[in-house]
A and B are shown apart, each in its own frame.
Chain A
Amino acid sequence: MSTTELLILASVIGSLVAILVFAIYYLAVSKSESMSLTAKEEGYTDSNAYWREQLYGKPRPLSWSIFSYDDAKSIGLRYIFTSILFLFIAGAFGVMMRVSLFDPNPVIIQPIIYNILMTQHATLMIYMFAIGAALGFGYYLLPTQLRLKRDNMGHWSSVAYWLWVLGGTLFVISRSSMRWYLYPPLSLQLLPTGAGTYNWLAIIAMELIFIGVTMAAVIVLKVIFIDRADDIPLSKMPVFAWAIVFTLIMLLSSDEPLMVGLGMLFYDFFNPVFFTTSTSTPLTFAVLFWFWGHPIVYIAVIPYFGLMYDIITRFSKTPVYSYFSGVFSLGLLMILSELVWGHHLLNSGLGIDWVLFFTTASFIVVIPSALTVFNMIGTLWKAEKIRLTTPMLFVINAILDFIVGGVLGVMLANQSVNEVAHGTYFVTGHFHFIFVGLTLGVTMATFYLLYPTFSNGRVYDERLAKWHFYITAFGSMLMSVSWAIGGYLGMPRAVAGYFAQFQVYQDSAIIGGVIIGIGQLVFLYNIAKSWLAHPTTDPYNILEYRTETNQEIGGGE
């Protein structure tokens, strides 16, 4: 391309971007002007405070104005819909990885691209989807579930949200290929064959995500502990509120080591004194990372346990079988998650004493997990009638997938099994059972349940939603089972190719992965199609409100 052509192209693109940015700026400013005029006419000097008061306690549908308002529910909508956007981006990366493994040799995409896809898939799914959806449901559901006395930290929440979005976007832009655990010395090699030329940007992006998430966590904890209605004692809170409390305390008490570690890693780009010199060891960083890295995978589980309890009680019309043991087991999960991080490093030479400690601690995690599962089954057992709506199907499938994935996890906690299986697809199968079956499934269940509120009284197509469920559940089971069996036979994970003897497991996993992708497209089509119809119900969902009319719908037709 000649210089002239390049200049013409650059100016055309630059002008288009400038026009777009100005249009967004114009719309935002005129909206905020009209909002403050209305507030002034009502005698308020703080426009945001006026609108927060106007919106208080009402169901909030999705609209562009969620970016103008900063009440908790608007922030919640931003988090929920952004996390679903990132779910689709990261999911597309995941499906592309599956498809590229059609051939044992990396012929469809190059190994370097595969590594980038894998890094992006993992990081976006964890930080942008799992944490984002948990925070989003917390922001969205808690104000009505706990009948907040005040809602006054909207500006801070908004800043936290934008830092989080900026971090996620910069992470994609960095095209990093360092894996989600950022180990040096790989992450210090700024080459396409190393961790990616712009890996320093990925480190900054991670730090931004952390700052945003930490701010939001503090605000949500403040909302629960200080702002909830006086007549709701801690012992009467919904299990979901407890789950959010435990998750966020866990987050706040374990993300500092990695935030500090990321700062040291960034310093190592300029003067590598921390992790790669003769007097230090990369294992130092691994310890800093996994001290946070294990709690973060529980962040993708504990809030969703809370949602599962709430959804089960709504559709089986019974209270939780044992409220105390439910809350207690979530609290125990929080404490244990801080103690088992070493089982990610069982083969790194921590020494037999530490290995014994971490192995034992990992086995003890079975107790709260089993308490949770049996509590849910007990709730279902006691119910006189269970309504198998789509959200309920997703939740029941989540229990099943959690049991299977959990058993695989307990097997991995055994040091001798871990030694042979930790580098294989067995691990991938273990956590995809839980992440696809439970994290994705319960997010979808809650989304369907809240759909009438999001869409201002419309209902989703029950038939398409059922298809979405069955496709997702089948694809997830097929993919994870193939990985678990192939992995047990020694199929190495996280590589762009495989030995031809594993062809059958890879092929069935590819089919499973593509099926999951198709299922999410059905979901997207359902959302778009159902929104076009006229509102047919009231926008009060059964997760937040108790009205006469909403008890029978559960969000669907």
Chain B
Amino acid sequence: MASNKGGVTFALIIVLLVSVAFGYILTSPTGGGLQPSKNPTKYTQYVNLGADAAGWEYNYNTSLRNPVLNVVSGTKVVFNITEMDGAPHNLYIAYDGKYTSSLFQQLVVDQKSSPKKIEGSTNYQILSTAQITQTIGHKTQGNYPFFKDGIYTYWCSIHYATMVGLLIVNSTSSTSTSFVALHAYHGEGPSHVYNQSTYSTHISNVLVTLERAIKTVE
């Protein structure tokens, strides 16, 4: 560079690296994000969940961990969260797509192998660490209006491998507005009780139940 090309080389390096950096930043993922709709909701449903690092406890029952929640579209779901173990927790939801049994299976099975899936770009924080205080027994409330049909994941971003479950929104359901709480046992769960084969049997049972429910509706 000591020759008379030094300035040109420097200018070219600058132009090249500025273009690379510029292109890199401008193509960043911008994920639209979930935003709660402002439309009036038809129903309100309450879900009681205990925040425990071993898994969300449905109705504070330690044997009903990480339930699959069924919701009719147009429902405002109010999450009553109770701190169970004193560890920091929060509550996120993400929209994963229109309901299909293959997507359901993929979500249920893949969450164990690749928890990254739930860190998708379209998610929303319902409750933060500061709101679910680390005081055991502290109760707090957060809500989200569900309008769009499909599968949603709800999880705690700190214990994403254990505290994760699904929420299914269905607009055609006329059976009832109550929840069908089912055991999913994804994540680490109580693995000392359920071995791998009982786990898979359980998943297929869940799928059969859900498909039957959807068929009766259609």
Contact = CB atoms under 8 A, between A and B. Distances in A.
Task: Pick from B24, B25, B158 the residue with the most CB of A within 10 Å.
Answer: B25
A193 B14 contact: no
A534 B4 CA distance: 7
A272 B7 contact: no
Contacts of A112: 28, 30-31
Nearest to A192: B31
B120 to A, nearest CB: 9
A285 B116 CA distance: 28
A273 B135 CA distance: 13
15 contacts: A81-B10, A85-B17, A92-B21, A96-B22, A110-B30, A116-B28, A172-B24, A189-B125, A192-B121, A270-B158, A276-B130, A456-B2, A528-B7, A528-B8, A531-B6
A330 B22 CA distance: 37
Contact of B10 (A175, A196, A528): A528
Interface of B: 1-2, 4-8, 10-11, 13-15, 17-18, 21-22, 24-26, 28-31, 33, 88, 119, 121, 123, 125, 128-130, 133-135, 157-158
A2 interface: no
A85 B130 CA distance: 42
Interface residues of A, number: 51
B119 A64 contact: no
A443 B83 CA distance: 56
Nearest to B7: A531
A277 B130 CA distance: 5
A172 B25 contact: yes
Interface in A265-296: 270-273, 276-279
Nearest to A193: B33
Given A88-B18, A531-B6, A113 B11 contact: no
Nearest to A91: B18
Interface of A: 61-64, 81, 84-85, 88-89, 92-93, 96, 109-110, 112-113, 116-117, 120, 172-173, 175, 185, 189-193, 196-197, 270-273, 276-279, 455-456, 458, 524-525, 527-534
A276 B128 contact: yes
A531 B14 contact: no
Contacts of B7: 455, 527-532
A172 B21 contact: yes
Contact of B158 (A85, A272, A533): A272
A113 B10 contact: no
B129 A276 contact: yes
A196 B15 CA distance: 26
A113 B29 CA distance: 8
B25 A527 contact: no
Nearest to A529: B7
Contacts of B29: 192, 197
Contacts of B125: 189
A493 to B, nearest CB: 20
B25 A113 contact: yes
Task: Pick from A191, A196, A270, A279 the residue with the most CB of B within 10 Å.
Answer: A191
Given A63-B6, A92-B21, A455-B7, 10 more contacts: A62-B2, A89-B22, A92-B18, A96-B26, A172-B25, A175-B24, A276-B129, A527-B10, A528-B11, A534-B4
A322 B126 CA distance: 62
Given A96-B22, A116-B28, A172-B21, A524 B14 contact: yes
Q: 3 smallest A-B Cβ distances: which pairs?
A: A531-B7, A278-B133, A192-B31
A197 B130 contact: no
Contacts of A533: 4
Contacts of B6: 61-63, 455, 531
A278 B134 contact: yes
A62 B10 contact: yes
Contacts of A193: 31, 33, 121
Nearest to B92: A191
A166 to B, nearest CB: 15
A278 B135 contact: yes
A273 B21 CA distance: 35
A277 B133 contact: yes
A272 B88 contact: yes
Contacts of A530: 7
A473 B144 CA distance: 52
B25 A88 contact: no
Contacts of B30: 110, 112-113, 192
A183 B209 CA distance: 47
B13 A92 contact: no
A530 B4 CA distance: 9
A117 B119 contact: no
A120 B21 CA distance: 10
A62 B5 CA distance: 11
